[in-house]
Chain A
Amino acid sequence: MFVHDFANHRDYYNGRRLFQKAKNRVSMLAFRNANCYTLNPTETIMKVLLNAKQIEQILKKLTTRIVADTPDNVEIVIIGIRSRGEIVAQRLAGMLSEKTGTEIPRGTLDITLYRDDLNSPKGNIQPKVRTTEIGFDIDDKIIILVDDVLHTGRSTRAAMDALIDLGRPKAIRLAVLVDRSGREFPIQADYAGYKAKAAPGKKVQVLLKESDGVEQVIVE
């Protein structure tokens, strides 16, 4: 009888715990909708930096600045770095074409072969080689090199080396949706959409409709 009671007590206790956990989850979801939430100090904190509307506005601003900077007699081309830079480039190219009334050529660059960590892979990351698709001559053009996030600057370095192997552009300008802190190379963006300060361990992620189903920039 006593043992039975004890078991019941334990069930009750566990039940309370599970209930509390479920309640926490619900409040977590509620907070997510409010753009920011913390569950408890030990949980990872996720914060939404930009929503779909803000992303759209930033891209529009970038477009205006790129058009303002470009002399009429020089051809510009858009090249996105795989894989999310490709999507951002696609949107920028569309907006630029609309604004200038001319079709802006767009290409995609795979930088895997130019990465500086190929022979010192960390953990389980094994980059997959994909195709570079640039169907036009880059000689004497102004290249708007597009990436989703500028962080260490290593990807940009790799991309510049890859581009130089394709020809001699008049200029390479860097456009990024998010410019976060943590540079390891002397590289800066010419067109930075949103400037984010993030601690070294944090991950700033751009999630886009085409690749992730949602449209936001988060830090976690």
Chain B
Amino acid sequence: MKNKTSQFKWTRKHLLGLRELSAEEITYILDTAAGFEQISSRAVKKAPPLRGKLVVNLFFEDSTRTRNSFTLAASRLSADVVEFTKKDSSVSKGETLLDTARNLEAMGIDIVVIRHNAGGAPTLLSKYINACVVNAGDGFCEHPTQGLLDVYTIRKRKGSLKGLKIAIVGDIAHSRVARSDMWAMTKLGAEVIFVGPPTLIPPKVDQLPVKVSYSLDEVIEKVDVVNMLRIQFERLGGNPFPSVREYSHYFGLTVERMKRAKPDILVMHPGPINRGLEIESEVADGQNSVILQQVSNGIAVRMAVLFLVNQAAAQTAEVSGTI
């Protein structure tokens, strides 16, 4: 058993999504992340494995949590970090994504962390540049590191995901977190239920490995984990629900609903929280909430991802060098 895991070799120099990863690969990232966790809690919060490497945060969409988390992760591995956001860059002057990336590459970057409003942008980028590409969220497609930190948090509290029932509640249609969560959780053996009003459940959901429920009351008693998504007002088109109050009444995680849940239910939220809308303050700050652990685990998971893609790049560089 011990030997089997140590013979596994991580070979991906890009992390584009969780859909293409195997259960073994996901588990390998989580195991690696466990080794990085203690770095954040000790006297010198730094280790040297990415010394002399340059990481670029290429963010075409607003983000504070994810971007800061990646910056922290990279600097705790001793890499240099360049921040690159849409507002203060040439993108607002009309430069294309590939031109921006090629220019950055000319500066000698090793890893690009990219967030983009178009799904597939990280994959496109990975085909044209030599640096490692890490997806920090693309369109409605994937947000792999969030998915990884969610399963890491669950695994840490529950031991394993096998057989767990997990509800992902809210705006599933516009949520890349829901998709990455779904891939990671189902691959590790959990059962995922998408919960939300029909207008916020994506079309063709029957082709995904999930169950769907239109009522939080129906599932709250059965589930081991509930992941509350934020209503992304900036992405909503039309009127998916009559009013915020009505949404909150049917799909908000209230103290009342929590009384009917399993006593050891885990309450998760990818942040930022709209207090009183999808989740009541008492629940968000309550005993069952692991929302802040998610944030600190996020740094360890991102350190593991940056470390692994760099390792894979170093190995492929060796191979091509000998040819």
Tell yes or no: B240 within 8 A of A by CB: no
Whose C-beta in chain B lies nearest to the C-beta of A162?
A: B47
Tell yes or no: B315 within 8 A of A by CB: yes
Given contacts A124-B9, A166-B44, contact A131 B318 (CB under 8 A): no
- Per-position contact with A for B41-82: 1 when CB-CB < 8 Å, else 0? 011101111000000000000000000000000000100000
Of the listed residues A128, A130, A131, the one surrounded by the most CB atoms of chain B closer than 10 A to its CB is A128
Q: How far is the CA of A161 from the CA of B315 in the complex (A)?
A: 24
Chain B residues positioned under 8 Å from A130 (CB to CB): 31, 34-35
Min CB gap A134→B, angstroms? 8
Q: Is the CB of B35 within 8 A of A165?
A: no
Tell yes or no: B5 within 8 A of A by CB: yes
Chain B residues positioned under 8 Å from A211 (CB to CB): 2
List CB contacts (< 8 Å) of B13-49 with chain A. 31-32, 34-39, 42-44, 46-49
Tell yes or no: A118 within 8 A of B by CB: yes
Q: Is the CB of B44 within 8 A of A126?
A: no
Give the residue of A126, A129, A164 whose beta carbon is less than 8 angstroms from that of B36: A129
Q: How far is the CA of A128 from the CA of B27 in the complex (A)?
A: 12
Whose C-beta in chain B lies nearest to the C-beta of A211?
A: B2
Segment from A19-27, A49-57, A107-115 that makes contact with B: A107-115
Give the residue of B44, B307, B310 whose beta carbon is less than 8 angstroms from that of A129: B307
Q: How far is the CA of A211 from the CA of B36 in the complex (A)?
A: 24
Q: Is the CB of A131 within 8 A of B48?
A: no
Chain A residues positioned under 8 Å from B46 (CB to CB): 165
List CB contacts (< 8 Å) of A93-133 with chain B. 110, 112-114, 118-122, 124, 126, 128-132
Min CB gap A101→B, angstroms? 31
Tell yes or no: B241 within 8 A of A by CB: no
Q: Is the CB of B48 within 8 A of A113?
A: yes
Whose C-beta in chain A lies nearest to the C-beta of B77?
A: A113
Q: Is the CB of A128 within 8 A of B32?
A: yes
Min CB gap B87→A, angstroms? 34
Q: Is the CB of B38 within 8 A of A131?
A: yes
Given contacts A128-B31, A129-B36, contact A113 B9 (CB under 8 A): no
Q: Is the CB of B318 within 8 A of A120?
A: yes
Min CB gap B25→A, angstroms? 13
Min CB gap B188→A, angstroms? 19
Q: How far is the CA of A11 from the CA of B9 in the complex (A)?
A: 44
Q: Interface size for chain B: under 10, 10 to 19, 20 to 34, or 35 or more residues?
A: 20 to 34
Q: Is the CB of B311 within 8 A of A131?
A: no
Tell yes or no: B169 within 8 A of A by CB: no
Q: Is the CB of B34 within 8 A of A114?
A: no
Q: Is the CB of A165 within 8 A of B314?
A: no
Tell yes or no: A167 within 8 A of B by CB: yes
Q: Is the CB of B47 within 8 A of A165?
A: yes
Q: How far is the CA of A212 from the CA of B49 in the complex (A)?
A: 30
Q: How far is the CA of A128 from the CA of B10 in the complex (A)?
A: 10
Min CB gap B153→A, angstroms? 17
Given contacts A113-B47, A118-B311, A118-B314, contact A129 B304 (CB under 8 A): yes
Given contacts A121-B318, A166-B43, contact A129 B35 (CB under 8 A): yes
Tell yes or no: B243 within 8 A of A by CB: no
Q: How far is the CA of A50 from the CA of B6 in the complex (A)?
A: 27
Give the residue of A118, A126, A167 whose beta carbon is less than 8 angstroms from that of B43: A167
Chain A residues positioned under 8 Å from B32 (CB to CB): 128-129
Q: How far is the CA of A162 from the CA of B44 in the complex (A)?
A: 10
Given contacts A129-B307, A165-B44, contact A112 B318 (CB under 8 A): no
Q: How far is the CA of A131 from the CA of B6 in the complex (A)?
A: 14
Whose C-beta in chain A lies nearest to the C-beta of B312?
A: A126
Chain B residues positioned under 8 Å from A164 (CB to CB): 44
Q: Is the CB of A128 within 8 A of B5?
A: yes
On B, residues with C-beta under 8 Å from A are 2, 5-6, 9-10, 31-32, 34-39, 42-44, 46-49, 77, 304, 307, 310-311, 314-315, 318
21 A-B pairs whose Cβ atoms sit less than 8 Å apart in the complex: A110-B35, A112-B35, A112-B49, A113-B49, A114-B48, A118-B49, A118-B314, A119-B310, A119-B314, A121-B314, A124-B9, A126-B315, A129-B31, A129-B32, A129-B35, A129-B304, A130-B35, A131-B34, A131-B38, A132-B35, A166-B42
Known: A121-B318, A128-B5. 12 other contacts (CB 8 A): A110-B35, A113-B35, A113-B39, A113-B77, A118-B49, A118-B314, A120-B314, A120-B318, A121-B311, A128-B6, A131-B38, A211-B2
